């Protein structure tokens, strides 16, 4: 799921992301654009 | 005889569990993790209300906090850019979450461990890219 960021230059970011390893879903990742990563 | 009794008790206990609890927590897009309504209440307190006390809670910088619920298979990063405690129940705000426990699934029924083919079938409009695009999502 791709979202458009309301901050910055409005880049897209993955709101919901599945990370894969060896062809399998390893984790489900949810991200918000404003954060302290 | 004892084994039969034990199995009967286990079966009865499992039958008593709510269906949702037995099935595990569900990720609904980017707005809800299980019963944790990220957009409506993205505080650390909201996460604690849903998942209980974190098994790990570490302030990772002046503005960031990492929380983990190991039994649930969940890590969440929180932040506060206003100078308040990012590990505070009311002041820690949701940044990102990594759900890696095997009981997690999405509302389209994508489970941890499912194949890439199933991802494509359930999410035909998904974009594919390098893991680096996830940024610091795995860092909490």
In 3D, which of A14, A10, A9 has the Cα closest to residue B123?
A14
Q: Would the pLDDT of B21 be above 70?
A: no
CB contact under 8 Å between B99 and A31, yes or no, is: no
Q: Would the pLDDT of B133 be above 50?
A: no
ipTM score of the complex?
0.76
B16 Cβ partners below 8 Å, 6+ apart? none
pLDDT digits (tens, 9 = 90+) for B84-123: 999 999 999 999 999 999 999 999 999 999 999 999 999 9
Q: How many CB atoms lie within 10 A of CB B139?
A: 14
Coil, helix or strand at residue B124: coil
B90 Cβ partners below 8 Å, 6+ apart? B43, B44, B45
Question: Which two structure tokens, joined as six digits, stand for A15?
Answer: 């709101």
B81: chain A residues, CB-CB within 8 Å: 34, 36
Picking from B41, B60, B110, B134 by the largest number of A CB atoms within 10 A of its own CB, the best residue to mutate is B134
Considering only CA atoms, give the Rg of chain A.
Answer: 12
A18: chain B residues, CB-CB within 8 Å: 110, 119, 123, 126
Question: Which two structure tokens, joined as six digits, stand for B100?
Answer: 């890696």
Nearest CB to A36: which of B33, B61, B127?
B61
- The count of residues in chain B is 140
In 3D, which of A35, A33, A37 has the Cα closest to residue A7?
A33
Chain B residues contacting A via beta carbons under 8 Å: 27, 29-30, 33, 38, 42, 61, 63-64, 77, 79-81, 86, 94-100, 104, 106, 110-116, 119, 123, 126-127, 131, 133-139
Coil, helix or strand at residue B92: coil
Coil, helix or strand at residue A27: strand
Q: Measure Cα distances from B120 to A11, B13, B110 in Å.
A: 24, 37, 10
Min Cα distance A36 → chain B (Å) is: 5
Residue B122 in contact with residue A33, Cβ under 8 Å? no
pLDDT digits (tens, 9 = 90+) for A1-37: 555 555 555 555 668 899 999 999 999 999 886 543 3
């Amino acid at each position: 799921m791709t979202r458009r960021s309301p901050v910055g230059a409005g880049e897209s970011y993955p709101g919901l992301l599945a990370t894969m390893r060896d062809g399998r879903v390893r984790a489900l990742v949810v991200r918000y654009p404003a954060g302290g990563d | 005889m004892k084994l039969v009794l034990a199995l009967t008790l286990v079966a009865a206990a499992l039958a008593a569990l709510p269906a949702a609890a037995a099935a595990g927590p569900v990720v609904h897009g980017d707005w809800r993790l299980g019963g944790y309504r990220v957009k409506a209440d993205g505080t650390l307190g909201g996460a604690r209300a849903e998942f209980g006390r974190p098994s790990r809670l570490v302030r990772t910088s002046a503005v960031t906090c990492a929380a983990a619920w190991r039994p649930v298979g969940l890590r969440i990063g929180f932040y506060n850019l206003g100078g308040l405690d990012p590990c505070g129940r009311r002041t820690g705000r949701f940044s990102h979450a990594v759900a890696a426990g095997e009981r997690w699934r999405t509302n389209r029924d994508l489970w941890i461990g499912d194949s890439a083919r199933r991802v494509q079938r359930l999410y035909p409009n998904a974009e594919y890219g390098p893991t680096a695009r996830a940024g610091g999502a795995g860092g909490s």
